[in-house]
Chains A and B, each alone.
Chain A
């Protein structure tokens, strides 16, 4: 039976708690299931010592999770919204990211910080941001942003086993997405490698690069373009830091055109880094400048009418793809 993103995340956490006694979950309300129900039932099953509620103290609970990782646990911390990571930046940026380096390799921080981002349903400007770009700027962090329930299952397990500080960014719009997942825990060999992208749809005319919920949007755009005879390849990055330039290079070698789809504002985003790297490393392969589609430079508004007006949708992606290919705009195509 198909399960939701939330149910599949819970299953991954449940299996990791059962597999490794060092794995502990902590965060605001997690023993009660968490704000989105991801950890529901896990405290009852694995004990209140391993699935612990914390006070609303993002700075301290993130520092605490780092200290616990140094002390031999494998903590999985939930920061309810990525917007709240602003309160934990010293711990994430100055401490977690730098431990291995500053200690000359003596110590490591095997920590997963699960958090949730993106705009949906009028959560407004302080609960809707896509802040992943801040973190890809920090050496020592790993940033993962899954695009579907099955992807999240494997990537979360891989992140827990990685032994590095991982920011695991879920998207609130994906929480209700359903997928089938085979029974029983996945074999380690079947788990996706952190740092590797995947081709979500093959194509030869242009490469659409996306991550998180925008992967689905990019797939929708690719399906629409296919009707017009345009074969778009969709890369789901999965890991934003480090970037899998090998997969990107192979794709660009086939398509020679790149469109980047992100929900974050384009200014200073992951797409800017991708465009710079593709431009510098794959210049000879390109038949056109790398293009980006993202949010206009504004906070996420509250009113659903305004929220819809801001968010880039598949129509905007398809339009940008046609422009990149020099194909005339489709009659009647509009909206985002």
Chain B
């Protein structure tokens, strides 16, 4: 594994800033009542999205969950179209039919974002099977939280992926909570990577707030997938700085726990690392500011976009008009 050049770290720093800014805007707009539904933020988990997606080509496939804004942006989707979707606009990725929990962008390989925890895991394995069967060389990546390990389909999918040696990377963002319930309370197995061994899947646990660590581990894992070495489970230990959803008062966590987590912010951490490497703080500030401006402008364009035409509400249930002819 070669170490990326300094410019690459700066690019990844910028990518994390974009996600942070994007979600700060989602939070602001949600507080103002402009976001329908239940947005879930990945604030504090940006290094996982960016460190993994840095190794993916445009044609590689990605499946995310209800907490997916960061993954979709890191995969290369347009911030304005993502925000427009979250705001329920016609210009959104899914023309306002998906929303925050279901950002899908076929153009960047984002093939799924499922709101039912763990439902995305077999889909990602299936896309990997298609890639394997068609010899396309694509890899499939699925992001999920540690809460998903409580679902039977998590174990079923690991077994299948291992049996069929599918090119799928399981990325667990272990943020220590399944919604409001701590990992101690929802499982006796504290390290998600421990589930890999019985199925004979390669696995690693890394500090998910350490971008270079995530980047190195993901790079190794994805290279192995491309070499046909079967699936891999990468557990990234991280922390959800926001609540389960926007508006969650987080009464299940102490102030001390949150304060300690903020100290481990992956963006600040990479910044300190880069400054120590000789990058000027002003340069990093400029990257952060560029990200902020881009996102602010994207948000304003998204807000100005029209809502979908109510007359189109029955479009896309089926492709064929004759199947569509079911009365509401």
Contacts and interface: CB of A to CB of B under 8 A. Distances in A.
Interface string A54-73: 11010111111111111111
A183 to B, nearest CB: 31
B106 A107 contact: yes
Interface stretch (A37-45, A87-95, A214-222, A312-320): A87-95
Interface string A100-119: 11111111100000000000
From DSSP, what is the main secondary structure of chain B's interface residues? mixed
Given A63-B126, A67-B127, A104 B94 contact: yes
Contacts of B93: 104, 106
A73 to B, nearest CB: 5
A49 interface: yes
A299 interface: no
Contacts, number: 173
A106 B98 CA distance: 11
Interface residues of A, number: 51
A302 to B, nearest CB: 28
B114 interface: yes
Contacts of B104: 102-104, 106-107
Interface string B39-79: 00000000000000000000001010000000000000000
B95 A105 contact: yes
A103 B107 CA distance: 12
B interface, size bucket: 35 or more
Given A101-B97, A104-B94, A106-B105, A70 B126 contact: yes
Nearest to A67: B126
A64 B325 contact: no
A95 B130 contact: no
Interface in B102-117: 102, 104-107, 111-112, 114-116
A95 B123 contact: yes
B122 A243 contact: no
Interface stretch (B202-210, B250-258, B316-324): B316-324
Shortest Cβ-Cβ A-B pairs, 6 listed: A67-B126, A63-B122, A71-B130, A60-B156, A104-B95, A67-B123
14 contacts: A49-B133, A55-B156, A60-B122, A64-B125, A67-B122, A67-B127, A72-B136, A99-B112, A100-B316, A100-B317, A100-B319, A101-B317, A106-B93, A108-B319
